[in-house]
Structure 1
C-alpha cells in the first residue's frame, strides 16, 4: 500500500471497526455530520500515511459499513480494526457560521459548568435524527448525553479547548421541585430546538 507524507493539519473523520462479511468490508464509526458523506472529501489517510479510498458506504444502525478500494478481503480488513482515518483541514469547507463546528473539533474538549467546575470531556457527537447530542465522559468513567443547543451549551471556546454547559438545561441536575420530591416530571430539555452546526463534513446542523 502506498504511503503519503503526513497531513499538515489532520482532522479525524472516522475510525475503522470490525470486519463485516468476508469480502473486505468494515464497520466504521464516523465523525461526520452525515455518515454517508464519508467519501465526499477524497481519500482518507492514516497517521502513518496509508491511503484509503471509499468506494461504497451503506448504513448499519449507529455506524456505516464501508468498502475501501485498497482492502480486498477479510484478512486485510481484520488488520485495520481501531485505525483512525483523517483528511487535511484544507479539504473541508471553511465558510462556517459563528456557532457551527466540526465534530472533530469538539471531541476531547474540556466540559465545565456555569460555576467553572469540571464536568468531564467530550467523547463523541451523535445525531439520532432530532438534533445533535454531545456525549460527555464524566470523571467517574460513566457517560452522559447533553443536547447540543445554545441553551444547554451556551459557550464553545475552541481556542481555550473547552465548552460550558448549563447544568439544568443540560439535564445534569434536577429542577428544585424535582429535587424536593415533587410529582412533576424532572426537566428534560428538548434536543430538537436550535440544533447547531453544518450537517456535512463532520458538522452538526
Structure 2
C-alpha cells in the first residue's frame, strides 16, 4: 500500500473501495510480504463481541468472505491483495468489524497470508459456524496500527487522499480524490472545480503519475503535494 515518490516505483494492483462514513479512506497496496503473526505468550486476546466504541482513525482494509477450515478461522479479501495488502491486517492485533448497523471488535490469535487472501483466527471463534456468522463483515484497523514504513519516499495511500496539489509555479491543480494503480506505478486522481458544457459546476479530473519525475515534494504536515504539471495538461 505504500506509494513511492521515486523515478521508478512499483506498486501491486490494489482494489480500491469506498470506506465507511465513520472511517478514513481505504488504502492501496503494500510492497512487502507480511509475516505470519501469532498471539504472544501470556497475551489474553479479547473475544469478538458487540461494541459501541470505534476508533477515530479506523481504515477499512478488507472484508470477511468465508470461513477457513473447521476451527473458527475466517478468510479475508484484503482491498489490496493478500501478499501485498495483508500487512495491516496481520500487524494489527485488534480488528473492528462492520456490517450494516452491526459493530463488533475483537483480537486476532493468529493471522497469515494464504494465496491472495488473509486467513485469521479471531478470539472467541470456536468452529466453522462461528466463522461463517462473520461472513460479509467489513474489516477495519486503526491507522496507528499500520506498520511503520521503511523509507521517507513511501506513503500510504490513505495519507495522500485529501491533500492539495499545486505545481511548481504555485498554481492550484486540485485535491487528491483517489489513487489508481496502472501496473507500473501509482497515479494520483486529482479533482478540481470546473464547469460543464451546460454551464453547471462539475468536478474536473487530472491523472498525475506518482513518480519522481512529476512529484517533487509531499508535505503531509502542510497537506500539500508539489508536482511538475501544468494547468492545461
Instruction: Choose the corresponding residue for 1:132, options 179, 186, 192.
Output: 186
Q: More strand per residue: 1 or 2? A: 2
**Match status 1:163 vs 2:208:** no
Counterpart of 1:68 in structure 2 is 120
Counterpart of 1:154 in structure 2 is 216
Please, which runs of 5 or more residues in structure 2 have no aligned partner?
Answer: 1-47, 69-73, 98-102, 194-201
**Per-residue CA distance 1:2-52 (angstroms, 9 max, x = gap):** 57x876x9574x4334x5346542322149993143445242433988235
- Inter-partner Cα distance in structure 2 for 1:11 and 1:142: 29
Counterpart of 2:147 in structure 1 is 92
**1:26-65 aligned within 5 A:** 26-30=76-80, 34-46=84-96, 50-53=105-108, 55-58=111-114, 64-65=116-117
Does structure 1 retain, via aligned residues, the 8 Å contact 2:111–2:120? Answer: yes
**Match status 1:102 vs 2:156:** yes
State the number of aligned residues. Answer: 159
Please, which runs of 5 or more residues in structure 1 have no aligned partner?
Answer: 175-205
SS in 2 for 1:150: coil
- Inter-partner Cα distance in structure 1 for 2:117 and 2:182: 17
- Inter-partner Cα distance in structure 2 for 1:105 and 1:87: 9
- Inter-partner Cα distance in structure 2 for 1:52 and 1:144: 41
Does structure 1 retain, via aligned residues, the 8 Å contact 2:90–2:111? Answer: no
SS in 2 for 1:133: strand
Instruction: Choose the corresponding residue for 2:75, options 25, 33, 37.
Output: 25
- Inter-partner Cα distance in structure 1 for 2:205 and 2:113: 29
TM-score by length of 1: 0.54
**1:109-124 aligned within 5 A:** 109-114=163-168, 115-124=170-179
> Alpha-carbon deviation of 1:100?
3.4
TM-score by length of 2: 0.49
- Inter-partner Cα distance in structure 2 for 1:31 and 1:160: 31
Alignment RMSD (CA, Å): 4.1
Does structure 2 retain, via aligned residues, the 8 Å contact 1:126–1:135? Answer: no
